[in-house]
Amino acid sequence: MPLTLEVVTAERLVLDESGIDVVIAPGIDGELAILPEHAPLITPLAPGELRVRRGVEENSYFVAGGFLEVLRDKVTILADAAEHAEEIDIARAEEARRRAQESLTRRHEQPDVLAAEGALRRSLIRLRVAERSRRSRPGPGMPHGHPEA
């Protein structure tokens, strides 16, 4: 029996789909792969890439941390923030990366280095998720899942 996946933030329902073969989530100690009939689980998530596979198709999402719960064949992710790879505004993520890097170069002036490092990490993950999604999109006449040359 395939999985049902629900990804929810405080602002919106990001994803509600069934027929999922595997969910690969960014756990705080590394990636977690959730397959059908997984044991019940509740665990915190780190900011990172959430990958969802159905057959040979894989979709990527950015999640900014939160919690993952598995009950029977349903996976629920309560994310601090989440967005599909195609929703990521690359220019905005690049600007956030630039600002975070500037903040880190002025460490002596800024008391909140951890916040700047977190912002940098989140912006880099967003950019990686968006880039991976764009590389895996098929070009004209190309089958899905094969990067363009």
Supply the CATH number for residue 114's domain: 1.20.5
CB atoms within 10 A of CB 54: 16
10 and 64 in a single domain? The answer is yes
Answer whether residue 108 shows pLDDT above 70. Answer: no
Q: pTM for the whole thing?
A: 0.68
**Rounded-to-integer distance, Cα 32 and Cα 2, Å:** 17
User: How large a percentage of the chain has pLDDT more than 70?
Assistant: 80
63 and 44 in a single domain? The answer is yes
Q: How confident is the model at residue 15 (pLDDT cuts 50, 70, 90)?
A: very high
Residue finishing a domain among 65, 85, 105? 85
107 and 78 in a single domain? The answer is no
Answer whether residue 144 shows pLDDT above 70. Answer: no
* Number of domains, the chain: 2
75-103 residue pLDDT tens? 999 999 888 867 766 777 778 777 777 77
Residue 100 one-letter amino acid? A
Residue 77 one-letter amino acid? I
50 and 101 in a single domain? The answer is no
**Average per-residue pLDDT in the chain?**
82
Q: How confident is the model at residue 141 (pLDDT cuts 50, 70, 90)?
A: very low
33 and 21 in a single domain? The answer is yes
76 and 24 in a single domain? The answer is yes
125 Cα distance to chain centroid: 8
**Rounded-to-integer distance, Cα 73 and Cα 55, Å:** 17
* CATH code of the domain in which 36 resides: 2.60.15.10
> In which domain, by residue range, is 61 found?
3-85
69 and 127 in a single domain? The answer is no
Give the residue, 105 or 47, on which the prediction is more confident. Answer: 47
